[in-house]
């Protein structure tokens, strides 16, 4: 019980300081005529999050965004691990494919969003593609790093046992790369949420996501609703990140530093 309480101290202190800074900017820095730009927390809560009708609309939009983010993350994980494995097993494949992975990371997604819309339309497929483009690189990079970082002595041991390429990959390289892969997935999880929100903003066909609402609230200068929707999106991002942090600790256990 005491350990659980100590874990909560840092988040509570952080939230308290953030709220204090928010109140300071809203009430002390901004004049009353400009306070609509950043309403104080209690106004955001009472005028937006505490309104059942507004909250229902935001939660429904958040569910749409969550589906896109999770679907995009699953695709990113499957493709990312598969590409990393292929590159680790054949140097020519790595030389050909890895530069494209770097390019995906370097090119601003907003620059290719118009092309995605032209090619895939403006619905679920386009939103998911944005998620994959943003989230896949950390999975590729970290998985490849983990496979290449396998202890040389263990590699020699498997070679002495005349283990084939498939057995060495399945029994040694992938398990050894698991901490790195999970770190990449944890990073990609947050990026996938970002990609889903960006996709909502640019591809508005179908049910609106939280990003669509953010764009609408911005255009209408509905500051309370804009900040409320932002808070919900941030909480969802934190939740996804926390889930993968727990998965990493449970999967890796106590045999790797990343579990601590």
pLDDT score of 208 more than 80? yes
Determine what percent of the chain is predicted with pLDDT higher than 90.
27
Give 83-94 pLDDT, tens digit per residue.
Answer: 998 988 888 888
> Mind listing the pLDDT tens digit for each residue in 134-178?
999 999 999 998 888 877 666 666 766 666 677 777 777 788 888
Stretch 62-80: mean pLDDT: 94
The reported pTM is 0.85
Average pLDDT, the chain: 84
Residue 1 has pLDDT above 80, yes or no: no
The rounded distance, in Å, linking the Cα atoms of 126 and 172 is 37
Lowest mean pLDDT among 71-80, 218-227, 244-253: 244-253
Q: Which residue has the higher pLDDT, 71 or 257?
A: 71
Distance between CA atoms of 204 and 232, rounded to whole angstroms? 19
Fold of 43-257: MetI-like fold (1.10.3720)
Q: Where are the domains of the chain?
A: 1-38, 43-257
Q: What is the pLDDT of residue 132?
A: 92
* Residue 144 Rama label (left phi>0; alpha psi -120 to 50; beta): alpha
pLDDT at 121 over 60: yes
pLDDT tens-digit profile of 230-258?
999 999 988 988 888 888 788 776 655 55
- The radius of gyration of the chain from alpha carbons, rounded to an integer in Å, stands at 22
* pLDDT (mean) for 52-59: 92
Rounded distance between C-alpha atoms, residue 154 and residue 176, angstroms:
10
pLDDT at 57: 93
């Amino acid at each position: 019980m005491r350990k659980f309480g100590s874990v909560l101290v840092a988040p509570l202190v952080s939230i308290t300081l953030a709220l204090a800074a928010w109140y300071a900017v809203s009430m002390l820095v901004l004049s009353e005529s400009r306070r609509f730009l950043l309403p104080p927390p209690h106004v955001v809560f009472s005028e937006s999050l505490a309104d059942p009708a507004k909250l229902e609309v935001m939660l429904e939009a958040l569910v749409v965004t969550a589906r896109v983010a999770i679907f995009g993350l699953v695709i990113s994980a499957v493709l990312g691990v598969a590409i990393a494995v292929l590159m680790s097993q054949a140097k020519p494949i790595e030389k050909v494919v890895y530069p494209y992975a770097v390019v995906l990371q370097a090119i601003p997604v907003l620059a290719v969003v118009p092309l995605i819309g032209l090619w895939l339309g403006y619905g679920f497929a386009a939103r998911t593609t944005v998620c994959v483009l943003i989230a896949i690189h950390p999975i590729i990079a970290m998985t490849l790093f983990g496979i290449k970082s396998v202890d040389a002595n263990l590699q020699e041991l498997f070679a002495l046992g005349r283990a084939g390429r498939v057995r060495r990959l399945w029994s040694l390289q992938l398990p050894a790369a698991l901490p790195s892969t999970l770190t990449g997935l944890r990073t990609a999880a947050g990026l996938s949420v970002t990609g889903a929100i960006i996709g909502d903003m640019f591809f508005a066909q179908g049910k609106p996501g939280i990003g669509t609402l953010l764009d609408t609230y911005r255009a209408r200068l509905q500051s309370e609703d804009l900040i409320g929707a932002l808070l919900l999106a941030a909480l969802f991002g934190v939740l996804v990140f926390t889930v993968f942090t727990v998965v990493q600790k449970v999967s890796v256990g106590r045999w790797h530093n990343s579990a601590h």
